[in-house]
């Protein structure tokens, strides 16, 4: 067994995944047996009572060294139904989502985590696909978020308690469904524009940057905005959506429509037939449309008269130029 390889896995790879000290003895035992490939797992319980199993798959030996190829899997078992929901989290050069981040995603959260693409850091948000199986190109609709304080409830220490390395994974292929992680690339400037487009948001650049940082960490921002349809000042909660936009809700958790209502009322003819009392509204609407058409006809007629006068004036100027004799040169 290569001691430096073991130390690198237990002091660098696993701590970066938020799992320092949880699998040291299991990894040491498998490496000592010189197995070509092995997995390790551990089961605990969340604060809400759900059973959670973290599984690190594909420790593969290449030459004298082992590497964690993954993917890592997080199994969440519903105590009432017994069904297991599995999140599949891929690794890139033994780097990936930490246990806290995986738990945040598995519990319906949206995670901001930049990725390295061709040596450049690219902003991305990540969330669990709505359906099990391969990732679809179409992104999911918005879902509820978890605040950073709530994320602490899913930490490895709270779920697993002590650092006993004994694996205890329970799998049932009949009830287990694997969900992959969807990722969406976005621009910070577009997110800032979404904040600036909020009606009546009185905030300077520093404040908006602070709001952006909060929602990118999975939190909720409280803001006072204006309802366009009524002009009323209202309290709103802002969270990050799965298309890198903003979810705007009121204090009761209802989605807010920030688009101005259409002022022109067009009655439904079926409702008019069913409700004769609406004839007055219909007559008012018809009269208003008639007056609008009359004004348009008058404007069109006026434009016609103006065009005729302009043509007559232009013809008169041309005739005058023809009649005026040109001066002979000396």
Of residues 316 and 86, more confidence is placed in 86
| Other CB atoms within 10 Å distance of the CB of residue 128 | 25
| Cα–Cα distance, 76 to 170 (Å, whole number) | 11
Range of lowest pLDDT (46-50, 125-129, 229-233, 277-281): 277-281
Block residue for tokens 């902003």:
123
Confidence at residue 143, expressed as pLDDT on a 0 to 100 scale: 41
How do the domains of the chain map onto residue ranges? 3-185, 188-249, 269-323
Q: What are phi and psi of 253, to 5 degrees?
A: 90, 10
Query: DSSP characters for 110-163?
Result: -EE--EEETTEEE-EEEEE-SSSBSPPSSPPPP-----HHHHGGG-HHHHH-S-
Q: Please name which of 26, 51, 18 lies closest in space to residue 176, comparing C-alpha atoms.
A: 51
Helix or strand run (H / E) with residue 195 = helix 188-196
CB count, 10 Å around CB of 307? 10
More confident residue, 197 or 146: 197
Residue 51 binned pLDDT confidence (cut-offs 50, 70, 90): very high
pLDDT in tens, 27-46: 999 999 999 999 999 999 88
Residue 74: beta bridge partners? 54, 87
Confidence at residue 325, expressed as pLDDT on a 0 to 100 scale: 54
Asked if 103 contacts 154 with a C-beta cutoff of 8 angstroms, the reply is yes
150 backbone dihedrals φ, ψ, rounded to 5° = -70, -30
For position 80, what pLDDT does the model report?
A: 85
Q: What is the pLDDT of residues 235-270, one digit of tens each?
A: 999 998 888 788 899 989 898 887 754 433 344 444
The per-residue pLDDT for range 111-163, each reduced to its tens digit, is 888 887 777 888 889 999 888 875 554 444 444 444 444 445 556 666 666 55
What CA–CA distance (Å, rounded) separates 59 from 31?
Answer: 9
pTM of the model: 0.60
pLDDT digits (tens, 9 = 90+) for 278-324: 444 445 444 545 454 555 555 444 444 544 555 565 565 556 555 55
Give the strand pairing for 111-112 and 115-117.
unpaired
- Strand, helix or coil for residue 302: helix
Cβ 91 vs Cβ 182: under 8 Å: no
Phi, psi (rounded to 5 degrees) for 148: -55, -35
Q: Which residue has the tokens 């002009």?
A: 231
Q: Could you tell me how far CA 77 lies from the centroid of its own chain?
A: 26
């Amino acid at each position: 067994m290569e001691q430096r390889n073991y130390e690198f896995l237990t002091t660098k790879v696993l701590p970066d995944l938020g799992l320092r000290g949880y699998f040291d003895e299991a990894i040491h035992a498998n490496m000592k047996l010189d197995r070509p490939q092995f997995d390790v797992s551990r089961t605990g319980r969340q604060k809400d009572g759900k059973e959670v199993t973290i599984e690190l798959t594909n420790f593969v030996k290449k030459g004298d060294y082992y590497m964690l190829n993954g993917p890592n899997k997080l199994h969440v078992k519903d105590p009432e139904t017994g069904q297991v929901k599995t999140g599949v989290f891929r690794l890139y050069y033994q780097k990936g989502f930490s246990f806290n981040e995986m738990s945040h995603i598995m519990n319906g959260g949206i995670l901001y985590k930049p990725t390295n693409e061709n040596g450049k850091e690219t902003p991305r948000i990540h969330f669990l696909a709505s359906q099990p199986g391969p990732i679809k190109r179409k992104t999911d609709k918005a879902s509820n978020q978890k605040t950073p304080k709530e994320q602490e409830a899913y930490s490895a220490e709270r779920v697993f308690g002590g650092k006993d390395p004994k694996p205890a994974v329970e799998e049932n292929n009949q009830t287990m469904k694997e969900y992959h992680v969807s990722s969406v690339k976005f621009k910070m400037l577009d997110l800032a524009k979404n904040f600036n487009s909020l009606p009546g948001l009185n905030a300077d650049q520093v404040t908006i940057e602070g709001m952006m940082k909060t929602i990118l960490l999975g939190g909720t921002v409280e803001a006072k905005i204006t309802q366009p349809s009524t002009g009323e000042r209202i309290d709103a909660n802002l969270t990050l959506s799965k298309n890198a936009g903003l979810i705007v809700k009121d204090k009761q958790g209802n989605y807010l429509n920030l688009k101005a209502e259409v002022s022109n009322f067009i009655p439904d003819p079926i409702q008019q037939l069913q409700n004769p009392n609406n004839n007055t509204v219909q007559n008012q609407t018809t009269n208003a449309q008639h007056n609008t058409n009359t004004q348009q006809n008058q404007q069109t007629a006026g434009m016609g008269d103006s065009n005729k006068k302009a043509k007559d004036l232009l013809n008169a100027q041309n005739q005058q130029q023809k009649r005026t004799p040109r001066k002979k040169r000396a």
